[in-house]
Amino acid sequence: MENIEHNYLNNGGQFWLAINNHQNIVGTIGLIRLDNNMSALKKMFVDKGYRNLKIGKKLLDKVIMTCKEQNIDGIYLGTIDKFISAQYFYSNNGFREIKRGDLPSSFPKLDVDNRFYYRNLKD
């Protein structure tokens, strides 16, 4: 969390937190600007005790709205195959699975990621 400014804000990206009534962070989502008017979704997380409360959907909707306001053409993301519910979530929210080779060169790849998704925002 201490590198939010360096990793997101200083490079034209953004970062959002979902906070409960006790001021605890229960969800996060980050957006990194990429080349060619694209973006990368990073650090999408909702605490297990707060899942199925639409927090993830609200965070993702905020990112999509922000991207559209900034005329960003699309969003890429990476995840791992054991996060099946995350894959289901992304697919149900307009993302389609792509191959690693389809990622833009500016996408920040993690070695652990083995599933990749893209959502076109131009339509």
76 near 103, Cβ under 8 Å? yes
Write down the pLDDT at residue 2. 62
Domain interval for residue 110? 4-120
The pLDDT tens digits of the residues spanning 30-67 come to 999 999 999 999 999 999 999 999 999 999 999 999 99
pLDDT band at 1 (very low <50, low <70, confident <90, very high): low
Domains identified in the chain, total number: 1
The pTM score is 0.91
Contact call for residues 99 and 116 (beta carbons, < 8 A):
yes
CATH number at residue 33: 3.40.630.30
Alpha helices in 2-113 (DSSP H): 4-7, 55-69, 84-92
